[in-house]
Amino acid sequence: MRAVVFDSFGSPDVLSLREDVPTPEPGPGQVLVRVHAAAVNPVDTKIRQHGDQYGIQPPVILGYDVSGVVEGVGEGVEDLVEGDEVFYTPELNARGAYAEYHVADAGLVVVKPADLSHEEAAAIPLAACTAWQALIDRAGLELGEHVLIHGGGGVGHFAVQIAHAAGARVVVVGNPEMEDALLDCGADLFVDYHEADGTSAILDLSCDLGADVILDTVGGETLANSIDALAPNGRMVTIVGDATGHFGAAYQKNAALFPLMMQRDGGMLDRIAALVETGDLEPIIDSVLPLAEAAEAHRQLERGGVQGKIILTP
């Protein structure tokens, strides 16, 4: 099969399209999927540069967002059959989905919403599951609460939609080029990250009560600089970096801070699929590129300014 492979960590130039990669076979409890689309995520670029920190060693095929069609099932698989159109986010390992075929544990694989194209479906699982776990599972977001979201990209634009669907009021701080899209996603207020950090906006929206939940998808000093925006007993969630050492002031507000590493869960993806089917959640796609341009996709992502997800199509 054709797949994008690299044999050493480094720049996007290490990514190479190969024609003779062995097609995987599904084992017990697994399915073989013909990949129709695979999304590019920031974690892909991190593994490409420093995969050893994730316990991954070359040769590596990246790709942790997949949409495709089941072409084979292993022993014990009962809920999926050949011909099912599916989407999922596989475990982080050396056998990702920048390829024509991919094998995954059946428990992670979910039937794709019929109204979504494969490109749209591939844009959803990893980022939307991360946003769900951050806001719903970790922060326990409730109806009527106020949310400040830093970053309106892959995870951020799903977080806006999930918070809106949960009945929260939302301020999102992001790239001005994404303003209209994020307001359409359900944000009550948009803040240009070049001009402000969202503190004044969330205080105005909440009548000076502050944010019940703050979600950081950006990193650096973002959360530390947002403590003034936090309501008493508020919750802070970060999906980037090590938050240790900056948050003494947050303790005075009895705040809870949750570092988050997304865990795969087919049942959760089913709930996200339900939001898609009710029209409460949809992906934003920046561009669709052929698999042979995986290196260019990584360059675009690392340059910044990507609006939504980049999709690769074998």
CA–CA dist 55, 214 (Å, integer): 31
**Per-residue pLDDT reduced to its tens digit, 132-182:** 999 999 999 999 999 999 999 999 999 999 999 999 999 999 999 999 999
Which pLDDT does position 225 carry in this prediction?
A: 92
Phi, psi dihedral angles at 126 (to 5 degrees): -65, -50
Q: Give, in degrees to the nearest 5, the angle at Cα 34 between 128 and 110.
A: 35
Q: Indicate whether 13 pLDDT > 50.
A: yes
Distances in whole angstroms, Cα of residue 179 to Cα of each of 172, 183, 187, 222, 300: 9, 6, 9, 19, 20
**Per-residue pLDDT reduced to its tens digit, 166-178:** 999 999 999 999 9
Which residues are CB-contacts of 179 (< 8 A; sequence separation ≥ 6)?
190, 192
Confidence band for 256, pLDDT divided at 50, 70 and 90: low
Confidence band for 236, pLDDT divided at 50, 70 and 90: very high
Q: Indicate whether 266 pLDDT > 80.
A: yes
Class of the 127-259 domain? alpha beta
Domain boundaries, the chain: 3-124+283-313, 127-259
Which pLDDT does position 244 carry in this prediction?
A: 39
DSSP single-letter state for residue 309: E
Helix (H/G/I), strand (E/B), else coil: 125? helix
Q: Which residues sit opposite 258 in a β-bridge?
A: 237
Q: Indicate whether 131 pLDDT > 80.
A: yes
CA–CA dist 164, 157 (Å, integer): 11
Phi, psi dihedral angles at 159 (to 5 degrees): -60, -40
Where does residue 69 rank: exposed (0-12), middle (13-18), buried (19+ CB within 10 A)? middle
What's the whole-number average pLDDT of the chain? 92
CA–CA dist 197, 267 (Å, integer): 35
CA–CA dist 166, 135 (Å, integer): 10
Contact (Cβ atoms closer than 8 angstroms) between residue 167 and residue 230: no
CA–CA dist 60, 155 (Å, integer): 24
DSSP single-letter state for residue 175: -
Residue type, 282: E
Q: Which residues sit opposite 69 in a β-bridge?
A: 34, 85
Interior/surface letters 221-234, b for 16+ CB within 10 angstroms, e for the rest: ebbbebbebbbeeb
Cα torsion angle, 196, 202, 208, 213, sign: negative
Task: Write down the CATH superfamily of domain 3-124+283-313.
Answer: Medium-chain alcohol dehydrogenases, catalytic domain (3.90.180.10)
Could you tell me if residue 247 is left (phi over 0), alpha (psi between -120 and 50 degrees) or otherwise beta? Answer: alpha
Q: Indicate whether 109 pLDDT > 90.
A: yes
